Amino acid sequence: MLGGIAGDIIGSVFEKRNHRSKAFEPFFQPQTKFTDDTVCIVAVAQALVTGTHPVKTLQDWGRRYWNNGGWGQRFGLWLADDDPQPYNSWGNGGAMRVSPVCLVAESLEDALDLAYQVTVITHDHPEGLRGAQATAMTVWLALKKVDAIEIRRQVNQKFGYDLETTVDAIRPTYRHSEAAHLSVPQALVCALESTSFEDAIRNAVSIGGDSDTIAAIAGAVAEARFGIPDEIAQKTWSYLPAEMRKVMSELYAVRNHARTE
């Protein structure tokens, strides 16, 4: 989803130099760019809209944008492998790339199943899968206009994440971690506590840590809750090459078609 890509782009400049405040200007910093997170979101989107196996699309896009950098060591090896196998990852990469499943799923159960399918090919550790499915569930419920309080309750009940904390409580002691269980709940809190799309991204940046990925997860949820302001959507679009814009347009076309049937 474009909200995840916006979060990745805006958060990219803060990953190596955390900014523990919501007050940063401009919203899109001069050095911002899309990272490996965006590449993976687009790859999952293409798999869903074309019916191609996600192993193939992730490898195709990852190799095409190899020089973009940012790949985790084990994921980089997986991209380069001629016979890629899951590597028991408990990282947040599955959660970061999962949001497109919610635009094509026909039910919550379908969204969770699709989330499993596009995640288990790499992140087959229970924590990696939990992070991805919890994110998919949060986005799905938000698209259905379930309120934040009820989303917190349902996600906690199914996945055990404590989403009752606050951004202000997280910020002072939060440290960089790519482990799903130490980053996905925090990203979801940033989105569920927010009052707008922009506020969710500012929340995500403000806690520090793995800023681009946390903002990508929060941005996907925030898009589902609030939509994306036109100015932010257009600015995000401007960072993407034509081949990425094409895939994302096709993803939203599938969503729009399903809604009009």
Q: Is residue 182 part of a domain?
A: yes
Task: Report whether pLDDT(62) > 60.
Answer: yes
Number of structural domains found in the chain:
1
pLDDT at 259: 61
Task: Report whether pLDDT(258) > 80.
Answer: no
pLDDT band at 261 (very low <50, low <70, confident <90, very high): low
- The amino acid at 156: N
pLDDT band at 202 (very low <50, low <70, confident <90, very high): very high
Q: Is residue 240 part of a domain?
A: yes
What is the chain's mean pLDDT, rounded? 96
Segment 168-186 mean pLDDT: 97
pLDDT at 118: 98
DSSP alpha helices (H): ranges in the chain? 2-12, 36-50, 54-64, 73-80, 93-97, 101-104, 108-119, 126-143, 148-159, 167-170, 184-192, 197-206, 211-226, 230-238, 242-260
Q: Vertex 69, ends 63 and 67: CA angle to 5°?
A: 50
Segment 3-17 mean pLDDT: 96
C-alpha distance from residue 20 to each of 16, 72, 77, 172, 241 (Å): 12, 24, 33, 8, 31
pLDDT at 257: 61
C-alpha distance from residue 241 to each of 51, 134, 232 (Å): 22, 30, 17
Task: Report whether pLDDT(214) > 70.
Answer: yes
Q: Is residue 227 part of a domain?
A: yes
C-alpha distance from residue 193 to each of 149, 203, 218, 259 (Å): 9, 9, 10, 28
Q: Is residue 100 part of a domain?
A: yes
Residues 102-130: pLDDT tens digits? Answer: 999 999 999 999 999 999 999 999 999 99
Q: Is residue 165 part of a domain?
A: yes
Q: Is residue 92 part of a domain?
A: yes
Q: Is residue 260 part of a domain?
A: no
- The amino acid at 159: F
Q: Which domain holds residue 201?
A: 2-255
The Cα–Cα gap between 202 and 205 comes to 5
The separation between CA 127 and the C-alpha centre of its own chain, rounded to angstroms, equals: 16
pLDDT at 255: 78
Residues 66-94: pLDDT tens digits? Answer: 998 789 899 999 999 999 999 999 999 99
pLDDT at 10: 98
Q: By the 8 A CB rule, do 218 and 7 touch?
A: yes
Q: Vertex 79, ends 116 and 115: CA angle to 5°?
A: 10
Residues 31-46: pLDDT tens digits? Answer: 999 999 999 999 999 9
pLDDT at 61: 98
Rounded percentage of the chain residues whose pLDDT exceeds 90: 95
CATH of the domain at 26: 1.10.4080.10
Sign of the CA dihedral with 105 first, then 111, 117, and 118 last: positive
Task: Report whether pLDDT(7) > 60.
Answer: yes
pLDDT band at 209 (very low <50, low <70, confident <90, very high): very high
Task: Report whether pLDDT(253) > 60.
Answer: yes
pLDDT at 256: 73
Q: Is residue 261 part of a domain?
A: no
